[in-house]
Amino acid sequence: MTDSKYFTTTKKGEIFELKAELNSDKKEKKKEAVKKVIASMTVGKDVSALFPDVVNCMQTDNLELKKLVYLYLMNYAKSQPDMAIMAVNTFVKDCEDPNPLIRALAVRTMGCIRVDKITEYLCEPLRKCLKDEDPYVRKTAAVCVAKLHDINAQLVEDQGFLDTLKDLISDSNPMVVANAVAALSEIAESHPNSNLLDLNPQTINKLLTALNECTEWGQIFILDCLANYTPRDDRESQSICERVTPRLSHANSAVVLSAVKVLMKFMEMLPKDLDYYGTLLKKLAPPLVTLLSAEPELQYVALRNINLIVQRRPEILKHEMKVFFVKYNDPIYVKLEKLDIMIRLASQANIAQVLAELKEYATEVDVDFVRKAVRAIGRCAIKVEQSAERCVSTLLDLIQTKVNYVVQEAIVVIKDIFRKYPNKYESVIATLCENLDSLDEPEARAAMIWIVGEYAERIDNADELLESFLEGFHDESTQVQLQLLTAIVKLFLKKPTETQELVQQVLSLATQDSDNPDLRDRGYIYWRLLSTDPVAAKEVVLAEKPLISEETDLIEPTLLEELICHIGTLASVYHKPPSAFVEGSRGVQHKRLPGSAGSGESVESPDAASAAGVSEAPPAVIPSQGDLLGDLLNLDLTPPTATGPTPPPSSGMQMGAMDLLGGGLDSLLGGDLGGSPAMAAGFGAPSAAVPASFSAPVSGGLDDLFDLGGGVGMPMGAYIPTKILWLPAMKAKGLEISGTFARRAGVIQMEMTLNNKAMSVMTDFAIQFNRNSFGLAPAGPLQVLTPVSPNQSIEVALPLNTVGPVMKMEPLNNLQVAVKNNIDVFYFSCQYPISMLFVEDGKMERQVFLATWKDIPNDNESQFQIKDCHLNSDAASNKLQGSNIFTIAKRTVEGQDMLYQSMKLSNGIWVLAELRVQAGNPNYTVSLKCRAPEVSQCVFQSYEAVLKN
């Protein structure tokens, strides 16, 4: 009879009966009772009342009974920790049992009982088991260390278990090695900075030796560990690849994928002209193809991984196109994934074959699959230029079938083909227009509207077609409404006389009758463009569009590199980095592929650490330009590339390259987006919204207003740069602005001369800053109280604060400004001396200075020369103190004065300096140390400017 009988009992008073049976003298009866208890526990009944009776059954030689009792213990120890301690003695005794299976069972169970009180009793037995003569016990103990570390990390470190675990990597038994690697990897994942797996060529050699004799899961642990190693050179890389390659023929698909991961990573280090490189490429294809003959679920995982591999190295599978042809009985998720890979592998050599397949798929019954097949034909046209004509004729054939969803998908992809090959296939537009009435999906309607607007001059009744869409404007989706608005504006610019009413109708619908902010904003932009400067509108709206790229859905390169390092894991199936779906510290480690042979790629620099212990608040971390999503109008900013520095922007006018309106037109209309003071003082904010105290003269009481003075009078001789021209009159319709920055009584001021060189009076001045490295923003409105007449100039001082939005600029002290008056909005950029941001409480205590200097890594130190400076050290010190660069100590060594100085930036970053002044030598040396070394160059420029003026 099977064990199912234990699950069928429904007696009353069951617990009482079980208690009696558990205390029976007969071994068989005892075993039966424990089985009944486990059965009840399995179906969710509470049998914790029997804890003491079950624990008494531990004293037995019967291995089966012992396993059952241990199973019960693992389940109830957490809810009965005091009772669980009763079992400790038996565990300790079992750890010294002559039978290795019992020793291993005891240590495994103790590791599974997650009760703090028991962990200290576990240490001694675990230490013995780690050095046990039997490898089965050692491998179980290795995993137990990882479990114990999860419960009490400090205890494991204090007891020296981690060192013992490292020693097990050199064990003679391959399974012990594999489990030691698995345990260390697990611990290292939860403590990324611990450097537990200190991989070196000797360790790697031991792991590779163990690899051949392990079980399949042991091999996976070792291969995953190998994937984290970075070889010293291409020879070592090749040697590892040669020893890992045999794993590709393993029966377990997880082993194959782990081996592929290692090879994909180490191939990066091999020169492409190496014979072995070509051999390796050939060896990688068959195992990947073999994975596709498994069951559908495994196929899907394999296909998701192959998708990544093909994006990184398409040459591996370029001859294996047929494997990815869809079978009639494939599940939909496998079909869609195969289609994706077919497109990625499509080339001039195999395009005829691919197109024939895709045309076949487009007549299938599965709607999702047909849609994807039609879209795939369009993607092939864009990818392989020679096939474009054949693809277009295939799409036209499909449109003739009049199957609704096929027609709609075909129109969407033909729009992209027009973008890729302008003035080539427009003859098909007439056919597309015939199907206008059948379109009911937003994407297809939007695509058709785009085609009508883009080629309005070729379509005689374009205005009628667009008007037909306009009738149900408010029922359309946002995508269609936006496209319709743009198409009608294009049509108006091409045929202004015939479509004036139409454009007024759509602008009115988009701005006055719509509550969608995107639509409203676009409507207002077009309205203003058309009403102020139709020529500019034509240049903007009808500008030549860039050709679309062949692969719009490729994974971003740095993410792809990270995903290649996670082949064979969930990340490779989701196509997301682990940090996107794993909570806690484990998902945060970002992996990168090593630099390819001879590329000389540098490792990314670590983030600047905060100046802990010195500043009260941690310094603001400056986000990089690429991290921010807010620059909606930032049309000219290309994302920063990893290769080489970004060229600094010119200081002239940069019309398109700014998000000066904060969040589009809403801030122009007075909307407060984000609530930053910079916004409150934006163009649209009425003067009444600003505190009255800002209207007071700048010298009057600003210390109290900003609470920055704190009684510290600024020493005489503070450095103020001379005014320079920021905005020439020819670029600003007659408004000329020159200016400088000053720090007076603890307040940063932007001092400007506004010169009217136009023929008309200028009024209604307002100013706004783009986000910048230190959050500089106007502390109030620009106070120009009287109109500026022609040929008149006026001096203005604008108080600034540093609580605006932050974005890292290039160079760091670049400030992008927008000034508005009754004529227009003008843009310019200028650079402020960083000394304006040195605060008055920047003098550090001597001991703190010493400790901080030692604490900041030497890599963060920069040295600069200041030439032609004829001051002695005392005069230099006094001059620098005027700009809040404080001397903390001075010593003279062999006739050279060394001044130790500190300064603190407004965002809490401290900069420490050593200035060397040699009597009679006009050249000074300044060494700067800072936790954010990016600021050092700007600080040096301030030193030079202060000392030389």
Question: Could you give the CA distance from residue 774 to residue 756 in angstroms, rounded to a whole number?
Answer: 31
Looking at per-residue confidence, does 412 or 62 come out higher? 412
Strand 825-831 to strand 910-918: parallel, antiparallel, or no bridges (unpaired)? unpaired
Average pLDDT, integer, range 225-247? 87
Average pLDDT, integer, range 835-850? 89
Question: Could you give the CA distance from residue 317 to residue 929 in angstroms, rounded to a whole number?
Answer: 52
Query: Does the pLDDT at position 35 exceed 80?
Result: yes
Q: What is the pLDDT of residue 552?
A: 59
Average pLDDT, integer, range 339-360? 87
Query: Does the pLDDT at position 660 exceed 60?
Result: no
pTM, to two decimals: 0.59
Q: What is the pLDDT of residue 752?
A: 94
Query: Does the pLDDT at position 647 exceed 70?
Result: no
Sequence-distant (6+) residues with CB within 8 A of 638 are: none
Q: What is the pLDDT of residue 7?
A: 56
User: Which pLDDT band holds residue 11 (cuts at 50, 70, 90)?
Assistant: low
Query: Does the pLDDT at position 61 exceed 70?
Result: yes
Question: What tokens does 491 get?
Answer: 């049509």
Question: What tokens does 655 get?
Answer: 């019309």
865, with CB counted inside 10 A (0-12, 13-18, 19+), is exposed
Per cent of the chain over pLDDT 70 is 84
Tens of pLDDT, residues 779-806:
989 888 888 998 899 999 999 999 889 8
Q: What is the pLDDT of residue 778?
A: 93
Q: Which is it for the CA torsion 700, 705, 708, 711, positive or negative?
A: positive
Q: What is the pLDDT of residue 125?
A: 84
Looking at per-residue confidence, does 263 or 86 come out higher? 263
Tens of pLDDT, residues 152-167:
888 888 888 888 888 8
Tens of pLDDT, residues 887-915:
999 888 888 889 999 999 988 889 999 99
Q: What is the pLDDT of residue 551?
A: 61
User: Which pLDDT band holds residue 5 (cuts at 50, 70, 90)?
Assistant: low
- Is residue 171 within 8 A of residue 135, CB to CB? The reply is yes
Residue found by looking up tokens 């470190």 in the block? 157
State how far the alpha carbon of 260 is from the alpha carbons of 220, 246, 288, 306, 879, in Å.
11, 11, 9, 10, 64
Query: Does the pLDDT at position 281 exceed 60?
Result: yes
Question: Could you give the CA distance from residue 547 to residue 539 in angstroms, rounded to a whole number?
Answer: 18
Query: Does the pLDDT at position 36 exceed 50?
Result: yes
